[in-house]
Amino acid sequence: MIGSCKCLDDFFVATATDPRISITHIGVFAALFRFWQMHECINPMSAYSYEIMALAKISAANTYHKCVRDLSSYGYIIYQPSFKKNQASKIFFRIS
């Protein structure tokens, strides 16, 4: 659990000075983090967009996908979309 706290701390330290990060990005990251904790911090985790959207209180799939792609391209997570409705995407947390 200590490693997971460091992961969250590192995220907030990094995003404090990153102008690309919005409140929506933070909400999606927090939802991903909570989902990860609920599933025993397995890295990578498998998740469907609707599961994370519910935790993040996001109703628009486009918003969710944009935020997850952004978080991945900015280096906060690694996102491997499945592109299949019956297969979960893979999400890796960068843990130091």
Residue 53 one-letter amino acid? M
β-pair partners for 77:
93
**Would you state the pLDDT for residue 94?**
77
CA–CA dist 91, 34 (Å, integer): 13
CA–CA dist 12, 73 (Å, integer): 17
89 pLDDT exceeds 70?
A: yes
Q: Write out pLDDT tens, residues 29-69.
A: 999 999 999 998 888 999 999 999 999 999 999 999 999 99
Task: Tell me the percentage of the chain whose pLDDT exceeds 70.
Answer: 93
Q: Write out pLDDT tens, residues 68-81.
A: 999 999 999 999 99
User: Would you give the distance in Å from CA 69 to the centre of its chain?
Assistant: 9
Nearest to 29 by CA among 60, 74, 87: 74
Residue 95 pLDDT grade (very low, low, confident, very high; cuts 50, 70, 90): low
CA–CA dist 46, 76 (Å, integer): 17
Q: What is the pTM of this model?
A: 0.90
